[in-house]
Chain A
Amino acid sequence: MTTLITKTITKICLPLIILFSISLLLAGHNNPGGGFIGGVMFASVIALTYVAYGLDYIKSFFDPDWSNWFGFGLLLASLTAFAALAFSHNFFRSAVEFVHLPFFGEIELVSAGLFDIGVYFVVIGGLLSIFKNVGDDK
C-alpha cells in the first residue's frame, strides 16, 4: 500500500511535523496546542513512517522501547505535582516565573509546562506502544 510518493512525502514531512509538534507543546500555554495535541502529532508522524516504510524496516535502525517514554512522562508529571509539596504548598500548586534571556526576550517559565511535557511523553509512549504492539502482532 506504500508508494514512492508516500515515502518521499513522509521523508520531507517527518522533521517538519516533529518540529511542529514540539512548537505545539511549547506554545500550548498561551496559544492553541499543548502536551496532548503535540504528543498525538508526534505519534502520528512516527505512525506514518511505520506505515510508509514498514514496521520491520524502521525497526532495523530505529527501535526505541516506547514504554520507557510513557514511564518517564508519568514520572515527570507526578514529580511536578509532588514538587509543590517540597515547597510546602498544596499538591499540584503551580508556579510562574518570567525570565529575560538575550535574543529570546521575555520567556515565561511555568511549572505546569513541565507537567505538560510529562503529558507529551505519556501520549507519545502510550499511543506508539499500542501502535507497535498491534502492528507487530503476527
Chain B
Amino acid sequence: MDSFTAITLAVFLPFILAGILPTVAKLLKDKIGWYASAVAFLSLLLVAQAAPEIIHGETIQRSIEWLPSVGIDFSFYIDGLSVMFGFIVSGIGVIIMSYSNGYMSKKEDLPRYYQQLLFFMGSMLGMVFSANTIQLFIFWELTSITSFMLIGYWRNRPMSVYGATKSLLITATGGLFMLAGFLVLHAITGTFDIPTIMHSESIKEMLHGHDLFLAALILIFIGAASKSAQGPFYIWLPNAMEAPTPVSAFLHSATMVKAGIYLVARIHPIFSGTEAWFILVSGVGIFTMLLAGFLAFRQTDIKGILAYSTISQLAYLMTMYGYTTHHEPGIGVAAATFHLLNHATFKACLFLVAGIVAHETATRDITKMGGLRKEMPITFIVATIGALSMAGIPPLNGFLSKEMFYEASVEMGHLVGGPWSILIPALAVLGGVFTFAYSIKLIDGIFLGKRPTKGLPDHIHDPSMIMLAPAIFLAGLIILFGLVPSIPVHYFVGPTVSGILLEEVHLHVKLWHGITPSLIMTIVTFALGLLTYTQYGKIADWQDRFNAKFPWISVNYYYDAAVENAKKVTSKFSNRMQPGPVKTYVVALLLLFIAMFAIPAAMLATTLVPQNLNFDVPLYESIIFLFMIASALGAALLPRYIPAIISLSGLGYLVALLFIYLQAPDLALTQVLVETLSTIIFLLAIVKIPQKFREHIPKTTLVRDLLISVTIASIVFILLINATQGIVPPFESLSHYFVEKSLSLAGGHNIVNVIIVDFRGYDTLGEISVLCLAAFGVYNLIHSRGDDQ
C-alpha cells in the first residue's frame, strides 16, 4: 500500500468504523472500548506504514480533484511534521481508549463516548495531513465540534455545559478568524495549497513585502492561539476539565490543544524570519507561559493544575516556534518539536494518574489528599516520573528539551541584543521556576506528607492493570526518551524539523554536554523553584488580595458578561419575533410575499397584456370550476372546523379531477394521495381542539385579512395569466432539453420522473432531507411539549 492510500485510510477509517460502532456495541456490550482501541491501533499502523519514507527525508503530496473551479483540491501532504502528529494522535488514542475501559463506568453511555472519541481522532488526523487550507479548516472545526460534545459528555451537569459552550464559542470563533486569514493568504498568493507557498521562494518574498502580510499573520495566529488556549483565549481550557479525565488527557493536553501549535509549525516556513512573527508568537507565548505557570501553581484541583500547566507548556512551544530572525529563521524549532513530543508523553501520563487518583479517592481537591504513596505505590512512582520530567530533572526527557529551550532563549536574546539578551533568558527561567514549583506541588500534595484523617475513603489501592498499564507505558517512554534521546530525535524530531525548515537537518541531543549557560540556568531554576514552593502561603495571600482588589482584570469577567448580555438580547429578540400563535407567522409570510411581488405584478399587469387568452372552456371543465368555487367558499365560510376541512379537501380533489382532464395523470395521482393524507393529518390535529363555533374575530382583523387575501390572489392571478403566455423572448424554454435528453442520457421515458431522480437529483436529495427533518420536527414538537406537563 502506498503512503497516500495508507494516510487516507488512517483518516477515514475511524469515521466509518465509528459510524457502525453502535451496531458493534450491541454485540460487544461493555467491551466496546476495546473495539475503539483496535480502530485507533489500526490508524497507528497505517500512519506507521507511511513513516519510513518520511524518515528517509522524503515528502509526499497527492491530490484528488474536489472543487476545481475555485482551485480547491482534496489533498494530503505527508512530511515529518504531519507524521509526528499522526503518531501522537493515534498513539495516544490507543492508550486513552484502552485506559477508558477501566475508567468509564459500565453504566455510562459508552457507544456515544467512544464514537465521539473516534470521530475526534479521525478529524485530528485529517487536520494534520491536510495540504489545503480549506480542507484544514474543515477538519479543524470538526475537532472543535467533537471536543464540544466530549466536554459536554455529562449533559446534565451545568458546569459541563458551561465548559463545552465556552470552548466551542472560543475555538470555533477563532477558527473563523483563521479562515479569514486563509482567505487573505489566498488573495495574496492565489493558492490554497500550503506546500506550494512553502516551497516557492518567490511567493514567500512577495508575501513578506505585501501590505496584507500582517493581516494574514494576525488572523491565522488568532485561530492558532484560541485553539491552543494562548493569550486571552486561555480561559476555555480550565473549564474544559469538566470532561471525563481520559478526554482531558487526549484532547485537552496531548492532541487537540496542540492543533494551534501544529498550525504555527505548519505556517512557520511561510511567515517566519520576520520581526512580526517573533513579536507576535514569542510575545504571546512568553506572556502566557508566565501567567499560566503562576496560575497553575495556585490551583487546588489536580486537573486544574494540569490544565494551567498545559497552557503554560503550550506557551513554551509557541515561544520557541516564535524565535526567529531573518538569517536564522528556525532557532527554537528543534527544541520546540522535541518538547512537543515530550510534553505529549509526560502530560498524558500525569492526566492518567490524575484520573486514577480521582477515581480511587473520589475527590480532585489536592488539599484533601496526602500521604498516598504507601497505599498506591505504583501510581506514586509513575506520577513522580511524569512530574519530574515536567519539572526538568535529569535524566528524564523533559530535562533535555528544557535545556534546549534555555539554549534557544540565550541565542535569541543574544541575537536581539541590548537588554533583551538578559531579559529573554531570565523570563524563560522564570517560566521554568513556576513549572518546577507546581510539579513538586503535585507530588507533594497527593503522595507525600501525612494522610489527612478524614475526607478520604478508608481503603485506597492501586487500580487494575487496565488503567495502570497505559500510564506505566508512558512513564517508560519518558525514561527511554531521556536516556536514549537519539531514538525520538532520529525517528520523529529530525524529520519534523526538516519538514519545517525545508532542509536536511542533523540533530544531536546528548544527556551531558558539559557546563553550559543552559545547565547553569537549569540549576538556578531548581533552586528558585524550591524556594517558590516553600513560599506558597505568602504568594497565595498576595494573589487573593490582588484578585479581590481588581476583579475586572480577569478575562473570564468579560467573557461571562458578554455571554450573559448576548443571551438577554437574543431572548428579547426571539420573544418578539416568535410570539407563539401561528397566525402571526402566516401574516408575516404573506406580507413578505406581497412586498416581494406586488411591484413586479403591477408592472406586468400594465405592460404585458395577455394576447391570446383562451375563453373557449369546455362544459365539463366549467362545471368543475363552479364546484371548486363553491367548495372554496365553503372552506372559508362554514362555521365548524370539520366541515370546513372536508370542504377544503374537496377543493383538492376537484383540482385532481381537472388534472385528469388536462392529461396529467402523474399530477392527478399525486394530488389525490397528498390531499388524502394531509386531510387525515389535519383532522387528527384538529380533533384535539375544542369543537365549538370558531372564535369571534374583530372587524378590523377581518378587514385586514381580507385585504391580504385579495392582494395575494390578484398577484397570483396576474402572474399565472402571464405565465400561460409561454416563455418571453430573451429567455429560452428548458423543456426541450429534457424532452430530448431524457432517454439518451438517463434511459427513461417518463420525463417528470427522470427530472426528479436524475437531472435534478440533487434537489430531490435536499427535499427528502427536508422531509426527514420535518418528521424529526413533529416528533420533537409533540414529545418536548410532554416534558413540560
Partner-B contacts on A (CB < 8 A):
24, 28-37, 40-41, 43-44, 47, 51, 66-67, 70-71, 73-74, 77-78, 81, 91-92, 94, 96, 108, 110, 112-113, 115-116, 118-119, 122-123, 125-127, 129-131, 133-137
CA distance A118 to B676 in the complex (A): 23
Note all chain B residues with C-beta closer than 8 A to A123.
768, 771
Known: A115-B761, A130-B681. 10 other contacts (CB 8 A): A29-B747, A30-B749, A34-B666, A35-B756, A78-B765, A81-B761, A123-B771, A125-B772, A134-B782, A136-B782
CA distance A78 to B769 in the complex (A): 10
Inter-chain contact A36/B670, CB cutoff 8 Å: yes
CA distance A44 to B754 in the complex (A): 24
CA distance A94 to B743 in the complex (A): 12
Q: Which of B754, B768, B779 contacts A118 (CB 8 A)?
A: B768
Inter-chain contact B685/A40, CB cutoff 8 Å: no
CB<8 Å pairs between A and B, sample of 11: A32-B665, A35-B757, A44-B676, A73-B768, A81-B761, A110-B747, A116-B757, A130-B774, A134-B684, A136-B782, A137-B782
CA distance A115 to B768 in the complex (A): 11
Inter-chain contact B677/A32, CB cutoff 8 Å: no
Inter-chain contact A28/B750, CB cutoff 8 Å: yes
CA distance A33 to B674 in the complex (A): 14
Judged by DSSP, the binding face of A is helix
Inter-chain contact B750/A92, CB cutoff 8 Å: no
Cβ proximity bits B259-284 to A, threshold 8 Å, 1 near / 0 not: 00000000000000000000000000
Partner-A contacts on B (CB < 8 A):
665-666, 669-670, 673-674, 676-677, 680-681, 684-685, 688, 746-750, 752-754, 756-758, 761-762, 764-765, 768-769, 771-772, 774-776, 778-779, 782-783
Q: Which of A44, A116, A126, A137 contacts B775 (CB 8 A)?
A: A126
Which single residue of chain B is at the shortest CB-CB distance from A128?
A: B775
Which single residue of chain B is at the shortest CB-CB distance from A66?
A: B775
Inter-chain contact B764/A119, CB cutoff 8 Å: yes
Note all chain B residues with C-beta closer than 8 A to A91.
762
Inter-chain contact A112/B761, CB cutoff 8 Å: yes
Q: A70-B772, A123-B771, A126-B772 are in contact. Are A28 and B753 (CB under 8 A)?
A: yes
Inter-chain contact A67/B765, CB cutoff 8 Å: no
Which single residue of chain B is at the shortest CB-CB distance from A85?
A: B64
Number of cross-chain contacts by CB at 8 Å: 142
Note all chain B residues with C-beta closer than 8 A to A28.
750, 753, 757
CA distance A96 to B680 in the complex (A): 39
Inter-chain contact A112/B677, CB cutoff 8 Å: no
Note all chain A residues with C-beta closer than 8 A to B670.
36-37, 40
Note all chain A residues with C-beta closer than 8 A to B749.
29-31
Q: Which of A43, A92, A110, A122 contacts B748 (CB 8 A)?
A: A110
Note all chain B residues with C-beta closer than 8 A to A92.
761-762
Note all chain B residues with C-beta closer than 8 A to A51.
680
Inter-chain contact A131/B688, CB cutoff 8 Å: no
Q: A122-B772, A129-B775 are in contact. Are A112 and B746 (CB under 8 A)?
A: yes
CA distance A34 to B665 in the complex (A): 12
Q: Which of B673, B746, B748, B772 contacts A37 (CB 8 A)?
A: B673
CB distance from A90 to the nearest CB of B (A): 10
Q: Which of A34, A115, A135 contacts B750 (CB 8 A)?
A: A34
Inter-chain contact B666/A32, CB cutoff 8 Å: yes
Which single residue of chain B is at the shortest CB-CB distance from A31?
A: B750
Inter-chain contact A77/B748, CB cutoff 8 Å: no
CA distance A112 to B754 in the complex (A): 8
Note all chain A residues with C-beta closer than 8 A to B782.
133-134, 136-137
